[in-house]
C-alpha cells in the first residue's frame, strides 16, 4: 500500500491536506507530521510520496530511499522551480493546494509504480 506523508508545521494546513488526500485516495495511507518529525515519520511509514513546502524540503537533508517529494510553493517562477529541481523534487505545485491539483499531480505517481499491487 502506498503511503503519503504530509509535512507541515501548521496543524490546520496539515490536517486539511491530509483530509483532502484521504478523500481522493481512500486506498492509500495518508499521515501528517510536523517538519521536524519528518525523518521519524517517513522512516516508520515506508513513505511513497512526501508532500511539503519547498522551504521544508531544503531543511530536510534526507528521506527514505525511493520516496518522491512534491514541493508546495506560492511562487512558481523560474528561480523557484530551479531551487526545487536542485533539491530533487519530483514535482512542484502551487500553494495552497487544491483537490484538482493534488489529483492531477499525485494520481499518476501513485498509478505509475508508487503503489504496490493489491
CATH number assigned to the domain comprising residue 28: 3.40.50.2300
Q: Classify each residue of 73-109 as buried b or exposed e, where b means 16 or more C-beta atoms within 10 Å of its C-beta.
A: beeeeeeebebbeeeebbbbbebebeeeebeebbeeb
Cβ-contact 67, 49 below 8 angstroms? yes
Using 50, 70 and 90 to split pLDDT, how confident is the model at 6? very high
Query: 27 by DSSP, 3-state: which?
Result: coil
Cell of 93: 505545485
pLDDT at position 18 is 97
The pLDDT score that the predictor gives to residue 64 is: 65
The number of folded domains in the chain is 1
pLDDT above 50 for 114: no
The domain in which residue 53 lies consists of 3-114
Could you give phi then psi for residue 65, rounded to 5 degrees?
Answer: -55, 135
Going by C-alpha positions, the residue among 43, 27, 83, 93 that lies closest to residue 59 is: 83
Q: Lowest-pLDDT range, 13-17, 85-89, 112-116?
A: 112-116
Amino acid at each position: 500500500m502506498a503511503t503519503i506523508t504530509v509535512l507541515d508545521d501548521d496543524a490546520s494546513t496539515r490536517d486539511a491536506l491530509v483530509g483532502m488526500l484521504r478523500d481522493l485516495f481512500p486506498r492509500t495511507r495518508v499521515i501528517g507530521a510536523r517538519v521536524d518529525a519528518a525523518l521519524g515519520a517517513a522512516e516508520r511509514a515506508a513513505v511513497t510520496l512526501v508532500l511539503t513546502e519547498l522551504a521544508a524540503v531544503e531543511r530536510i537533508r534526507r528521506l527514505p530511499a525511493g520516496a518522491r517529494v512534491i514541493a508546495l510553493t506560492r511562487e512558481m517562477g523560474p528561480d523557484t522551480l530551479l531551487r526545487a529541481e536542485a533539491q530533487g523534487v519530483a514535482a512542484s505545485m502551487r500553494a495552497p493546494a487544491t483537490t484538482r491539483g493534488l489529483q492531477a499531480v499525485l494520481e499518476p505517481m501513485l498509478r505509475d509504480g508508487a503503489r504496490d499491487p493489491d
